[in-house]
Chains A and B, each alone.
Chain A
Amino acid sequence: MATDARNAVELKGVSFRRGERFIFNNVDIAIPRGKVTGIMGPSGCGKTTLLRLIGAQLRAESGEIWVDGSNLPSLARTELFDLRKRMGVLFQSGALFTDLSVFENVAFPLRVHTQLPDDMIRDIVLLKLQAVGLRGAIDLMPDELSGGMKRRVALARAIALDPQILLYDEPFVGQDPIAMGVLVRLIRLLNDALGITSIVVSHDLAETASIADYIYVVGDSQVLGHGTPDELMASDNPRIKQFMQGSPDGPVPFHFPANKLADDLLGGVRG
C-alpha cells in the first residue's frame, strides 16, 4: 500500500493544466476517513476541477490520486466505473435527470447497479427521501421542485447506494438561508449517521467552517494552508488571513495583472 489507510482520498504531487495555465501545480492533499473536509478558496481557483479529478472525470497530468485504496490514473475504464459506485457526488445544480420523476431519480442508481426487486427499491427510496425530508415529493417531477429541494433530492440520490465518500460541489451557492441551514444540518447528519467521508468544496466561509472538521485552502495552483477551522482563523499567513477575513486587497490583488495604467493610457501603441 502506497497510501495511509486512514485517508479516504489522497493526492500526491498532482499537477493539472488547462492550456498553458496551471490549475494545480504539485499539490498534496490528504482527506481523512469519516470526517467532513472542506476545500476552500477564491472562485476560479480550481475547486471543482479538484472534485472532477477525484471523480476521475479529468485526468491529472502527473501525480497520484488514491481513492479508497486504488490509484485512479492506473485504473481501466470499467474498474473506474466500479469505483464510482462507492462515491456519491452532489453537483452544484443538483443534476437531476429531468425526464424522470423524483422517485425514479433516486431509484436510478439502484436499478442500474442492483438486481433488487421493485418493492425493495421502493422501500429504500422512501427511506432515503425520508432522510432528506422529501418523502412527500416522491411523485413530483424535478421541474416542480425549488432549487433547495432539487439539491436535497440529488443528495438522496447520491446516498442511494450507501457510498463511502460523498463529494459536495458548492452545496451552498444560490440557496436561501433556510435551505442553506437545512443542507448544513443534513451534511453533518449524514456524515455522522452513515460514517461517510464528506468532501465539501465551497467558498462560503461561515457555512463550511461550521461543519468542516478540517479545511484546505487552495489558491494560485497551490495548497495555501490547512488545518481545523480555528487554526486557520488564527493563521498569520497573509493569504489565508485575507481569504478568511474577506478583505478586498492583499496578497491576492484587487487588480488583474496588467501594464501600468499610465502606460496603457499614454501608449496606445503596443510592442
Chain B
Amino acid sequence: MAKATTVLDRIALLGRAGLDVLAAMGRSVVFLFLAIAGRASFGNRLQLLMQQLYSVGVLSLAIIVVSGVFIGMVLALQGYSILSDYGSEQAVGQMVALTLLRELGPVVTALLFAGRAGSALTAEIGNMKSTEQLSSLEMIGVDPLKYVIAPRLWAGFISMPLLACIFSVVGIWGGSMVAVEWLGVFEGSFWSNMQNSVDFYDDVLNGVIKSVVFAVVVTWIAVFQGYDCEPTSEGISRATTRTVVHASLAVLGLDFILTALMFGDY
C-alpha cells in the first residue's frame, strides 16, 4: 500500500513538472507575442535599439572574431592531415568553407552568443525586475515589454546572423592562412575548389537561415528567463544558468532538425 502511494506520488510529481513546463511555454509564447506585436507609443525606439545592438552585437564581436579565426585554423590543420592521406589537399578549402557555412558558423556563434550576450541579457533583465525597475516602468505607464524587452529581442535577431557571417568569413580567412601560407596548399586550387563546391543558396543562405532561427530561439530564451525569473539574487543566477543550458540544448537540437531538412535529401 505504501509502495503504491509512492509510485503514484512519483507519477503525480512528473505530471506536475510537465504542467509547469507547459505553463512556462505558454507564458513565453504570450510574452513573445506581446513584446513583438503592435507598436510602441514612445518615440525613441531607434535609440533604444541602437543601445541594445551595441551591448548585444558590438560587444560580442571580439569573442566571435577570435573564436572564428582559431576554429578556421584548426579545421584547416585537421582537414589537411586527413585529406593529404588521399592526396587531395587542395580540397581543404572546400572542407573548411562548407563546415563553417553549414554547421560551425551558425552553431558556434549561437553557443557563444548564448554564453556572452544571452546570460548578460537574463541577468540584466532579472536585475531590473528585482530592483522593481520593471514594475516602476509599468506604473509610469510604459509597457516594459515594449520598452525593455522588444529592443533586446530585435537586437538579438539582427545581431546573430551578422555575427555568424563574420564568424564564417574570419574562419575561412584563418583556414586559408594555415592552408596556403603555412601548409603550402596552392592558393588557386584552394579558392577554386571552394568556389566550385559552395553554392550560394544551398550553403550560404541555408546557413544564414539556420542562424536566424537560432537568433530567435536564443534571444527569446534569454529575455524570457530574465523576465520570468524569481526576483532574488539566487533566482537571477539560476535563471542565467538556465538560459545558457536551455539555449545551448535548443540550438543543438534544432540544428539537427534543420540540417535534416536542408541537407538531408541527398
Contact = CB atoms under 8 A, between A and B. Distances in A.
A82 B44 CA distance: 19
A108 B133 contact: no
B99 to A, nearest CB: 40
Nearest to B131: A93
A98 B142 CA distance: 16
Interface in A55-104: 55, 57, 81-82, 84-85, 87-89, 91-93, 95-98
A150 B131 CA distance: 12
Interface of A is mostly: mixed
Interface of B: 41-42, 44, 128, 131-133, 135-136, 138-143
Contacts of A93: 131-132
Contacts of B143: 81
Contacts of A85: 140-141
B141 A95 contact: no
B133 A82 contact: no
Contacts of A89: 135-136, 139
Contact of B141 (A52, A113, A157): A113
Contacts of B140: 84-85, 108-109, 112, 157
Contacts, number: 52
Given A93-B131, A98-B131, A109 B141 contact: yes
Interface string A156-183: 0100000000000000000000000000
Nearest to B34: A77
26 contacts: A55-B138, A57-B138, A57-B139, A81-B142, A81-B143, A82-B141, A85-B140, A88-B139, A89-B135, A89-B139, A91-B132, A93-B131, A95-B132, A95-B133, A96-B133, A97-B133, A97-B136, A98-B128, A108-B140, A109-B140, A109-B141, A111-B42, A112-B41, A112-B42, A112-B140, A113-B141
Given A95-B131, A96-B133, A112-B140, 4 more contacts: A52-B135, A93-B131, A109-B141, A113-B141
Contacts of A111: 42, 44
Contacts of B136: 89, 91, 95, 97, 154
Contacts of B133: 95-98
A96 B137 CA distance: 10
Contacts of A92: 132
Nearest to B133: A95
A229 B128 CA distance: 36
A85 B136 CA distance: 12
B45 to A, nearest CB: 12
Contacts of A82: 141
B141 A57 contact: no
B126 to A, nearest CB: 13
Contacts of A91: 132, 135-136
A38 B109 CA distance: 54
Nearest to A167: B139
A113 B143 CA distance: 12
A149 to B, nearest CB: 16
Nearest to A115: B43
